[in-house]
Amino acid sequence: MVVQQISHYWLLEKIAEGGMGVVYRAHDTTLGRNVALKLLPDELMSDSDRRRRFLREARTAAALNHPNICTIYEVGEDQGRTFIAMELVPGDTLAAKLIAGPLPLPDLLRIAREVAEGLAEAHAHGIVHRDLKPQNLMVMPDGRVKILDFGLAKPTEPSEVSEHSSTLTREGLVVGTIPYLSPEQALGKPVDARSDVFSFGTVLYQMATGRRPFRGETTAAVVEKILETEPELGPVTE
């Protein structure tokens, strides 16, 4: 049976899907506005420890308030499903814009500055995004940029990186999107703000060249490149 309503949100259409959940355009019947509603997948819901950790981390990210960060309105559970209600941001993802190739330098600098400002705000509050990539950067019609999907966001308090951390963040579990992982993420090690800076550098490289700096035919090959090699310098030859 297809779920059509979660809490006071009516699901209108699916707009994105990934390993950490499905995102719907939804209507908030209480406030009369459209939102982006993310539902966690069943495989995560079956682990109560992961669910509690995700809820706590999403609530932490909800405290962020910055013009370059997508606002989280509500985090909750209904009908046995965990949901995150977020600002519905119009525009195109940076990934969609990069299909045409490298960005003009003025656009690159503007986008880079706004992403850096959003990340700095998150890091100032002890939040690491952990999944920074072009698909999670929305360029709005007026040119402003918003960082999306803090669903993998992680507080960086000492207790969060102890050897007793839960299964979502414990050492040995790789979290994020392979081509944009920092070396620490690729090794399943605890991370801090420097991990986001590495991923940001990967995005900058792609904006400037139109290609990712670490490429390979398999996931293992990409991880090896991240761990063992430096990005190619100079003009694109392919």
Q: Please report, in tens digits, the pLDDT of each residue of the chain (238 residues total).
A: 356 899 999 999 999 886 667 899 999 999 999 999 988 777 777 777 777 777 777 777 788 999 999 999 998 889 888 888 999 999 999 999 999 999 999 999 999 999 999 999 999 998 999 899 999 999 999 999 999 887 566 666 543 333 323 223 344 445 568 899 999 999 988 889 999 999 999 999 999 999 999 998 898 999 999 999 888 775 554 4
Instruction: Please tell me whether residues 163 and 222 are part of one structural domain.
Output: yes
Domain boundary, last residue among 39, 61, 86: 86
Number of Cβ atoms within 10 Å of the Cβ of 137: 27
Phi, psi of 78 (to 5 degrees): -155, 135
Domain boundary, last residue among 64, 86, 108: 86
Instruction: Please tell me whether residues 40 and 125 are part of one structural domain.
Output: no
* CATH number, residue 9: 3.30.200.20
Our answer to whether residue 131 is catalytic in this structure is: yes
The number of distinct structural domains making up the chain is 2
Instruction: Please tell me whether residues 56 and 98 are part of one structural domain.
Output: no
- In angstroms and rounded to an integer, the radius of gyration of the C-alpha atoms of the chain is 18
Instruction: Please tell me whether residues 76 and 113 are part of one structural domain.
Output: no
233 inside domain: no
Sign, Cα dihedral of 189, 145, 136, 150: positive
Amino acid at 147: I
Six token digits for residue 50: 């992961």
Q: What is the reported pLDDT for 177?
A: 85
Instruction: Please tell me whether residues 80 and 114 are part of one structural domain.
Output: no
Residues 6+ apart with CB under 8 A from 26: 6, 9, 10, 11, 12, 34, 35, 36, 37, 85
Q: What is the reported pLDDT for 119?
A: 96
Distance CA 57, CA 65 (A): 15
Quick check: 62 and 42 in contact, CB under 8 A? no
Phi, psi of 101 (to 5 degrees): 120, -165
Phi, psi of 20 (to 5 degrees): -100, 10
The one catalytic residue among 28, 42, 107, 131: 131
Domain region containing 68:
5-86
* CATH number, residue 181: 1.10.510.10
